[in-house]
Amino acid sequence: MRRVFSGIQPSGELHLGNYLGAVRNWVDMQNEYDCFFCIVDYHAITQDYEAAKLHPRTLDMAVSLLAAGIDPERAVLFVQSHVLEHTELAWVFTTVTPIGELERMTQFKDKSRRQESVLAGLLNYPVLQAADVLLYKAQMVPVGEDQVQHIELMREIARKWNARYGEGFFPEPQPAITHARRIIGLDGQAKMSKSLDNTIGINESAESIWQHLRPAVTDPARVKKSDPGTPEKCNIYSLHQHFSPEEMIQEVAEKCRTAGWGCLDCKKVLGEKIAATFAPFRERAAELRADPETVFEILRDGADRARAVAEETMREVRERMGFMPADQYARR
Ligand code: TRP
């Protein structure tokens, strides 16, 4: 079975953007592949964060992922910092990664532009990401299209390491993108993110979903209800494509072009579809929150299963790189 690895930062509750952009895909992949899904807390500390919130957000993310359909019987779900080999391999990889490649990364350029002093951790973010995936020798990485550049760099890191220490040892992972288009936020502008408050959480009630949808930006050319709209220019229409059945999508387009429906009518229908999709998630999340011990046990078991693979990879990596074996010469 082909192996899949993906990661998500512990930003707390999952939202519509994460769900459509990545997690829905993860849930589908569990049936076909050997999946490892990781809550990447070491990545989260590369930008300003509140230490007191890291732990509860990590737990919330685990609850959200389980509620959205990640099944611990079929996939390994774990927290990055619980498997020490991630940071160990990341260090090794810094020694085969050209700084120029890291400085070229779009995400690094965007994030560092907003900062007065740029930290090495931010620069090395993609090196840690390469370690995440390659530690498990995963071949496929389901991500949003903004991560494709990081995966290309990961392939280069694998090639460089292999060239020096063992041809064919690390596979070159492929990105797996099904929902290629970016999920635009309800502001009609930026990528959906919790910090921009332009999204909907997967555990929100129908009322709260409506509160977010009602003011959402639609086709800017459509000012009055009687103005005909252009569905292709409307973000609500693009969200319909993710939640509504084919006939509904056609009806929505038709009613928009002919001004048969106002934008609010269209949003109402979308809101119902989103609420219906998220209702079971909300229910499962409430159950899990009432029983945190079950979640801890899932994460403990996930870390054990991940560690078993990670330890084996690192043992071989150290051996190929010529390190003095700790199990013979030291107490670990
Ligand atoms: N950088 C990814 C993101 O922001 C998160 C991530 C970290 C990741 N490690 C990973 C994704 C490994 C895929 C594989 O979405």
- Tell me the per-residue pLDDT of 113-123, one tens digit each, with 9 for 90 and over: 988 899 999 99
Check residue 203 and report its DSSP letter.
T
How far the first Cα of the chain sits from its last, in Å, is 33
How many other CB atoms are found less than 10 A from the CB of residue 311?
A: 14
CA-CA-CA-CA torsion sign (180, 76, 304, 169)? negative
| Residue 285: predicted pLDDT | 97
Ligand 1 site-directed mutation target among 4, 14, 40, most atoms within 8 Å of CB: 40
**Contact residues for 40 (Cβ-Cβ < 8 A; gap 6+):** 7, 8, 9, 10, 80, 128, 129, 132
Instruction: Using alpha carbons, select from 102, 95, 99 the residue that is nearest to residue 165.
Output: 95
Q: Once rounded to an integer, what is the mean pLDDT over residues 265-273?
A: 95
Residue nearest (by alpha carbon) to ligand 1 atom 14: 6
Q: 181 pLDDT exceeds 90? A: no
Position 155 pLDDT exceeds 80: yes
Looking at the predicted structure, is the pLDDT value of residue 243 above 70?
Answer: yes
Q: How confident is the model at residue 87, as a pLDDT?
A: 98
Catalytic residue among 53, 137, 160, 194: 194
What is the average pLDDT across 154-171?
98
Average pLDDT in the 125-135 region? Answer: 98
Confidence of residue 180 (pLDDT cuts 50, 70, 90): low
**Catalytic status, residue 111:** yes
pLDDT band at 326 (very low <50, low <70, confident <90, very high): confident
DSSP state for residue 179 in the 8-state scheme: S
To the query of whether residue 194 is one of the catalytic residues in this protein, the response is yes
DSSP 244: S
Task: Taking each helix axis as running N to C, give the angle between helix 246-257 and helix 263-289, from 0 to 180 degrees, rounded to the nearest 10.
Answer: 140
**DSSP of 43-57, one letter per residue?**
HHTTS---HHHHHHH
Contact 154 CB / ligand 1 (< 6 Å): no
Taking a C-beta distance cutoff of 8 angstroms, is the pair 198, 192 a contact? Answer: yes
**Residue 178: how many other CB atoms lie within 10 Å:** 12
Span 228-252, mean pLDDT? 93
Give ranges for CATH 1.10.240.10 in the chain.
Answer: 206-286
206-286 classified as CATH 1.10.240.10: yes
For the segment 230-239, the average pLDDT, to the nearest whole number, is 94
Mean pLDDT of 169-186: 87
Query: How much of the chain exceeds pLDDT 70, in percent?
Result: 98
- Region 122-143: mean pLDDT is 97
The structure's pTM equals: 0.94
Closest CA to 108 of 57, 160, 154, 146: 146
Q: What is the pLDDT of residue 177?
A: 86
Whole-number pLDDT of residue 182:
76
What does the pLDDT average to over 158-173? 98
**80 pocket-lining for ligand 1 (C-beta < 6 Å):** no
- Phi, psi at 76, each rounded to 5°: -95, 115
- Residue 270 near residue 236, CB atoms below 8 Å: yes
| pLDDT computed for residue 39 by the predictor | 98
3-183+292-321 carries CATH number 3.90.480.10: no
pLDDT band, very low/low/confident/very high, at 332 (cuts 50, 70, 90): low
Q: Which one-letter amino acid corresponds to residue 99? A: I
The pLDDT score that the predictor gives to residue 330 is 85
Confidence band for 245, pLDDT divided at 50, 70 and 90: very high
Q: Running DSSP on this structure, what letter comes out for residue 19?
A: I
- 312 vs 315: CA distance, rounded Å: 5
Give the helix/strand (H/E) hosting 130.
helix 125-134
For 5-16, write each residue's pLDDT tens digit: 999 999 888 999
Separation of 301 CA from ligand 1 center, angstroms?
21
> Where does CATH 3.40.50.620 sit in the chain?
3-183+292-321
Report whether pLDDT(178) > 80: no
Pairing of strands 75-79, 174-176: unpaired
3-state SS assignment for residue 8: strand
Report which of 64, 112, 78 is spatially closest to residue 301, judged by C-alpha positions.
78
Q: What confidence score (pLDDT) does residue 331 get? A: 79
Host H or E run for residue 123:
helix 120-123
- Find the catalytic residue in 53, 160, 191, 255: 191
Residue-averaged pLDDT of the chain: 95
Strands 140-142 and 174-176 come out as parallel
Using the mean position of ligand 1's atoms as its centre, give its distance from the Cα of residue 26 in Å.
13
